[in-house]
Structure 1
Amino acid sequence: MSKKLKIAVLVSGSGSNLQVLIDQMQAGKLNVDIIGVISNVADAYAVTRAKNAGLRTVVLSHVPNGKRMGIKTFEKHTLELLSEWQPDVVVLAGFMRVLSAEFIAQVPCPMINLHPSLLPNYKGLDTHARVLAAGEAQHGCSVHVVTAELDAGQVLTQAVLAVRHHDTAQSLQQRVQKLEHQLVPFTLELMSKGVLDLNHLQQSANFVALPYRLWLD
């Protein structure tokens, strides 16, 4: 049986993955309810996408005196919102700040992140250029559990493509982004159907020995 997942989304950028979730939710193709969107960037286009969709949207970018909001203040307000909203899962979709171990431990549900590489390879930034420089034959993206160690949580799902001889970092980024738009809904669908057990996911860092993979080219 499929359960409608209540999800909260944290964003910083254009929000293309958020838009995919909005579109699939509104079309009835994905059994989720986006109960709130939080952005740490006031003018992120993801904020516009969320508001256009009529979603509850909160911007936590600056304090009243105009200074940029510090990460501790952001985390405090975000925890208050998540405690109020009670999502089943938090999705980091292009969220570009490193969260503290204390925050991660206090989030009241599992939290997942999308990373543009086949983890555990190529953690961190500039993954596409690094993959090309290393001469890799394959590349892709991963959805993983968020832990205190950057990009080190249990990998849940991956989407894979073959690197082409004429690929550049930009073309590879564009190709991987198409995979991202399929992988995030795929992962949430597995969660809604109970294939990925949210309760077990919250308790164990070793929920699955190998990720579920989509091979796309």
Structure 2
Amino acid sequence: GVGKSAVAQTISEEFAKSRLAASFFFSRVDSARNHLRQFFTTVALQLVMSHVLGPLLRDYIDLTIRHNPNIIHANLEEQFQELIVKPCSQLTTGQWEELPRLIVIDGLDECLDIVSQERLLSIIRTARLSSMLPFKFLICSRPEPRIRNAFNHQDFRTMVTRCDLGDAFESGKDIAKYFREELNKIRQDHGSTMAHVPEDWPGEGIIQQLVQRACGQFIYAATVLKYIEDYHSLPTE
């Protein structure tokens, strides 16, 4: 709605060859990405495939899987320890200072199992608190109650920086601009049926009302515009 996934995707692409260690994009409509079962195995695979981290971690992770093939079916905590923490601990703090350490997690709220959302955050919190993990995390999510409560844990407060995209990027101004540009296109596309309306249709007052109703959500603006531009109706209605 406010562009969380766009931010996560852009950062992942921008830092793919430098700071990015791994990424995971949850999706409630994708059966492979709407749960946690493949989260740590996916992260481990990306570490192995990384052109920077792969040569350093591949042997450790491969050895773990050879010794314990059932690790891919183990519980999340065990997977995390065996596939992520232990291999990464083979490198020194000095080495990690020069290596990719960013893990991007997008759409945590789209993990269908609400308990798993808290479980993942708990695993990350515990690892960061005990200095077991060299990684930094960018976690993008709607502020659902269980997720918000997990981040409110006292141990998280000292290690988390929060950013509300709706406030931080003045989305109201962007949404207003979006409305103006798209409504102008609609007026032009409908040609003769809207030849009588003024160029500033529907007027700044209406646009500001729509912006207020959007509450920082671009998805609201897109839905309204899709309805207005329907060629089977008159936009001014």
TM-score category (smaller protein): 0.3 to 0.5
Larger helix proportion of the pair: 2
Larger strand proportion of the pair: 1
Instruction: Please report the TM-score for the alignment, with normalisation by the length of structure 2.
Output: 0.34
Larger radius of gyration: 2
Considering Cα pairs closer than 8 Å and 6+ residues apart, tell me whether 1 or 2 has the greater RCO.
2
